[in-house]
Structure 1
Amino acid sequence: MPSLILVVFIFQLLIHLVSTFGGQTINDLLWLLYTKLPTPQAKQAAAGVQLRKEVVKLNREMTNTSAQDDFSKWAKLRRQHDKKKAEYEKNAQSLQSFRSNFDRIASTLRWLGTSGVRFLMQFWFSKQALFWIPQGWAPYYVEWLLSFPRAPLGSVSVNMWWIACASVIKMASEGLVALWTLKTGEVKVGEKKGEKVKMDFGAGMGQAGEKKEL
């Protein structure tokens, strides 16, 4: 059985990854995988793609057909176009309705599998000592803080260990992002995502190398 210390770290890493990539991105990936399975929605999605191609094709033929010179052909294409478009919209609306329910269920399961498990573990193991600190190594208030809320005094509680794991993972993630940004010269996360990194070392060196005139 894996150590509780390692389990907490892995769960916090999973929570961090979910937060980093975003819930909607994960939902999109799950939906893509779901539509690759032999499900009714997979067939419905494939039918929607085919209907869309037919609508585009008929619309192109209508554009290339003169309503004045060949009205009968144009009218026939128009009827076919309107029929296929109505079928496409009905199919898309039905699929979108199912997708909304799918996203809602996926978001709930994702929360239960990450943050829900975290809250449950913090409550269930709140009285258990994950590991002990050396006696006399820290003053009483530090020992009390490390054992918060209900672990034995002188030990590290699951809550404090979870906070420590979250802090270390966040700092490591920010460090990796910073290194990657410096390597590629492009911002990967945040409001300035996609922008080039501008680093003007010459200006700073020029100011530092200036001599004061008396």
Structure 2
Amino acid sequence: MLSLLWTVFFIHVAIYLVNTIGASTIDNLLWILYLKAPTPTSKKAREQNRLKREALALKRDMNNTSSQDQFAKWAKLRRRHDKTMEEYEAINKQLSSQKTSFDWSVKTARWLSTTGLKLFLQFWYSKTPVFMLPEGWVPYYVAWILSFPRAPLGSVSIQVWSNVCATTITTIAEVVTAVFVRKAAAEPVSVPAGAGAKKTQ
């Protein structure tokens, strides 16, 4: 079982990843994965795609058919196109409603497993030290701050440790990003052989 120290740390890693990647991006990715699962919703999505392709094909045939010279054929295509579009819109409305419910469920689960869990742990373990400091290692006022608000004096409270984790993760991510950006900027741009000669000519 994970210790309280690592549990809080990994929760903040998850929160940082969600904030960095973007909640909407994660929601859309999960929706795509959900549609690939063998569910009634995925069946509707496949039917929607089929109707969309069929409607586009019928629209293309209509455009290639003269409404004056081949009116009977054009009218038949028009009726099929309108019927296909009606079916497509009906399924699209159902999928939109299901996606709204899906997004709400995902948002709720994400909040409960990250921010909600963090707040619960901070409340439940408010009197529990994350770890103890060596006796006399820091002055009294520093020890009091580190144990704020309700942890035993001489320990680090979960609230303080939570703030340390959040700050550390953000700082490390910024440093790593800056290093990669600088490295990418320092890489020389390769020039094709003979390009300079052609330019001088």
Superimposed CA distance per residue, residues 3-46 of structure 1 (whole angstroms, 9 cap, x where no aligned partner): 21111111111111111111111111111111111111000000
Equivalences for residues 62-77 of structure 1 within 5 A: 62-77=62-77
User: For residues 39 and 74 of structure 1, what CA distance do their matches in structure 2 show?
Assistant: 38
Number of the residue aligned with 1:150: 150
Number of the residue aligned with 2:198: none
TM-score (norm 1): 0.84
- SS of match in other structure, 1:105: helix
User: For residues 159 and 54 of structure 2, what CA distance do their matches in structure 1 show?
Assistant: 58
Q: Which amino acid aligns with 1:13?
A: V
Number of the residue aligned with 2:89: 89
Superimposed CA distance per residue, residues 68-115 of structure 1 (whole angstroms, 9 cap, x where no aligned partner): 111000000000111101111111111001101110111011000111
User: For residues 45 and 94 of structure 2, what CA distance do their matches in structure 1 show?
Assistant: 10
Number of the residue aligned with 1:114: 114
Superimposed CA distance per residue, residues 171-212 of structure 1 (whole angstroms, 9 cap, x where no aligned partner): 011111112222334xxxxxxxxxxxxx9xxxxxxxxxxxxx
Q: Which amino acid aligns with 2:36?
A: K
Q: Which amino acid aligns with 2:57?
A: K
Cα drift, residue 131 of structure 1: 1.4
**Structure 1 or 2: more helix by fraction:** 2
Number of the residue aligned with 1:204: none
Q: Between Structure 1 and Structure 2, how many residues are aligned?
A: 186
Cα drift, residue 138 of structure 1: 1.8
Number of the residue aligned with 1:167: 167
Q: Which amino acid aligns with 1:83?
A: K
User: For residues 107 and 130 of structure 2, what CA distance do their matches in structure 1 show?
Assistant: 31
Question: Once superposed, what is the RMSD of the aligned Cα atoms?
Answer: 1.2
5+ residue gaps, structure 2, are 187-201
- SS of match in other structure, 1:66: coil
User: For residues 57 and 184 of structure 1, what CA distance do their matches in structure 2 show?
Assistant: 46
Q: Which has the higher contact order (CA 8 A, sep 6+)?
A: 2
Cα drift, residue 2 of structure 1: 2.2
Task: Among all aligned residue pairs of Structure 1 and Structure 2, give the percentage whose two residues are the same amino acid.
Answer: 48
- SS of match in other structure, 1:43: helix
